[in-house]
A = this chain, B = another copy of it.
Amino acid sequence: MTKYYFKDDYSEGCHPNILKKLLNTNFEIHDGYGDDEYSNEAKQIIAEKIGDKNANIHFISGGTLANLIIISAILKPHESIISPSTGHINTHEAGAIEATGHKINPIKSSDGKIRVNDIQSILDEHTTIPHMVKPRMVYISNSTEIGTVYKKRELKELSEYCKENDLFLFLDGARLGSALCSKGNDLSLSDIFHLTDIFYIGGTKNGALLGEAVVIKNDELKKDFPFHMKQRGALMSKGRLIGIQFVELFKDDLFFDLARHANSMAMKIAKAVEQKSHSLLTKSTSNQIFPILPNILVEKLEKKYGFYRWEKMNNKETAIRLVTSWATKENIVNKFISDLD
């Protein structure tokens, strides 16, 4: 058994259906740059799931690239983006957003989510016109970087607030599959579409080799989007590579099956952790969980399993991050649980 089993959700290749389809279509000849038959089919299937044939869909190879294209395509130079302090764009993208010229206004968040009041406080602080940036967009991720998930009521409140305050709402869905399949989730793909201006559906962390599907509702934002993709190096010559994957992931809802599997593996561990009287750092219902374990146990587990130490809680305990995926095997999960003793 290799050691990095719970390190992340992109340690394996991809779901076998995808490779099979790549094999079967390999010698077909298609137009480049995403204008192939499979990309178009994938866009149509996703638009149908969303329930709006005017949804504008584009495929981009990864999350950071999607984030920087979306934000820089929409904002004017003096406009900023509000993000939870834990947001991927604020911490783990090597300044990708700032490199396109925009300031991020972080909101301290303990659960990875932000609320209307938090945003209002940022707006209240930015009234010294024109000396300060003009917050114009709100960034959220679902599921969040610490595994929590938005409820429909929460997203609705954000959505309405953003509309009233002339803010674009952008949802980073690198782990949207896991969020939508999590216990207690009451949001659908269609809800996400209607409650945001732009969002994306992550393939890379849910069974694809690579690929995120950006979905644009706002008509103004649809305009010229491919120029921005090209300018940032995201227009792939062999666009079919992502198109084929999204066809496979969505034509029979494989995408959701994979996410459900990942979640159930995480929840199985979480349940065991609590049964063994340990606690969890965050109220995660998705495929990332953060057990707080005695250091001695952490050290023992590290010898057999790969995962990150997330936060030192005190002298005796550490929170670790465990990530499950579409490919996580249940027997490994069972072994891990028994090793918790």
> Which residues of A are interface residues toward B (Cβ below 8 A)?
2, 4-5, 7-8, 10-14, 16, 19, 22-23, 25-32, 61-62, 64-69, 72-73, 76-78, 80, 91-96, 98-104, 128-134, 204-205, 209-210, 224, 226-238, 240-241, 327
Contacts and interface: CB of A to CB of B under 8 A. Distances in A.
Contacts of A13: 22, 25-28, 238, 240-241
**Top 10 A-B pairs, shortest CB-CB distance:** A65-B233, A13-B26, A78-B227, A130-B226, A94-B230, A94-B231, A10-B237, A95-B133, A64-B233, A95-B103
Contacts of A67: 233
B235 A130 contact: yes
Given A129-B226, A132-B91, A233 B234 contact: yes
Tally of this chain's copies? 4
Contact of A130 (B23, B61, B102, B224): B224
A175 to B, nearest CB: 12
B209 A241 contact: yes
B232 A99 contact: yes
Contacts of A64: 230, 233, 235
Given A62-B233, A64-B233, A94-B227, 6 more contacts: A93-B233, A99-B231, A131-B235, A205-B237, A209-B238, A233-B233
A26 B327 CA distance: 10
A19 B14 contact: no
A11 B26 contact: no
A101 B103 contact: no
A231 B93 contact: yes
Contact of A98 (B27, B31, B98): B98
Contacts of A65: 232-234
A157 to B, nearest CB: 27
A2 B29 contact: yes
Contact of A204 (B95, B134, B238): B238
A27 to B, nearest CB: 6
Contacts of A73: 76-77
